[in-house]
Amino acid sequence: MSKADKLFVNMCKDILENGYSSEGQTVRAVWEDGTPAHTIKKFGVVNRYDLQEEFPALTLRPTAIKSAVDELLWIWQKKSNDIHELNSKIWDEWADEQGSIGKAYGYQMGIKYKFPHGEMDQVDNVIWQLKNTPYSRRILTNIYKFDDLMEMGLEPCAYSVTFNVTGNKLNAILNQRSQDILAANNWNVVQYSVLVHMLAQVTGLVPGELVHVIADAHIYDRHVPIIKELIERPQYDAPTFSLNPDIKDFYDFTTDDLIIGEYKKNPQITNIPIAI
């Protein structure tokens, strides 16, 4: 059975049974009808995924792997803040009339900085270091830039990735300030698992561990019945995953280079309410 499913179920049960409810407090988020969107949360959730062991896509419900990776490439490869360059509608409500999400996400990845080895953006710096100084303890990205926050359509949720090479294995820690567990948890896990696979392939390494650190892991009040139904579903083996081995340059990857097999999963959950 999928270890990602078991981890997800245990995390959700812990939040529901031992989490802190925001009922009675003033909260920022609201539902579409204007009702306050309360949550049950746990602070400091840490999940570990061994990418040598399995590809951590849930089978409790299908994760749209290629759509998730399309967003990842929009941020990390295209370094874009233009929703017209994205093949889904997930960012539409945070974009302005021109389709820009401001100085957020991909915009930050494209800013160039001066490094000892030259001027480049954060993505190119990671790739350069993994190829040339793989045992450095300074291989990371950070898009939570305080002087640009007021010009962002949405402050970054997943804001920092630290890469670490052990032997020939590429590991990564994904830091997230906040996460809607039902809507986004496995979406982000899948995205950054694929990123580790991609960066490992183009730098001569192999995928190791993804460690996901969530400061505020929450389940919205209107999601509780859905989560309770979800975690009682049958669990299946994780899907197989690989990349087109011919790709040697990170910027050449497309979603067509993802090879996903034997993905047995439960039916999709539709019409999930999203707090804004």
Residue 218 is assigned to a ligand binding site: yes
C-alpha to C-alpha distances, 41 to 84, 137, 179, 218, 220, nearest whole angstrom: 34, 32, 10, 4, 9
Judge contact between 243 and 201, C-beta under 8 A. yes
Say whether 157 is catalytic: yes
| Whole-number Å distance between alpha carbons of 19 and 17 | 6
Residues 54/3, Cβ–Cβ less than 8 Å: yes
Q: Is 38 annotated as a binding residue?
A: no
Report the candidate in 113, 115, 81, 86 with the shortest Cα–Cα distance to residue 98: 81
* Residue 61 counted as an annotated binding residue: no
CA-CA distance, 6 to 8, in Å (whole number)?
5
Residue 20, φ and ψ in degrees, nearest 5: -105, 130
271 carries a ligand binding annotation: no
Q: Which of 16, 29, 154, 157 is catalytic?
A: 157
Per the annotation, does 223 bind a ligand? no
Q: Helix 181-202 vs helix 65-76: angle between axes, to the nearest 10 degrees?
A: 60
Sign of CA dihedral 146, 152, 156, 162: negative
138 is in an annotated binding site: yes
Nearest CA-CA partner of 155 in 167, 171, 142 = 142
* Alpha-carbon torsion (196, 197, 200, 203), positive or negative: negative
CA–CA dist 170, 134 (Å, integer):
9
* 175 known ligand binder: no
Residue 246 known to bind ligand: no
- Is 176 among the annotated ligand-binding positions? no
Diameter of the chain measured on Cα atoms: 56
Write out the catalytic residue numbers.
Answer: 157
**Binding residue numbers:** 137-138, 177-180, 188, 218-220, 275
Annotated binding-site positions for dUMP: 137-138, 177-180, 188, 218-220
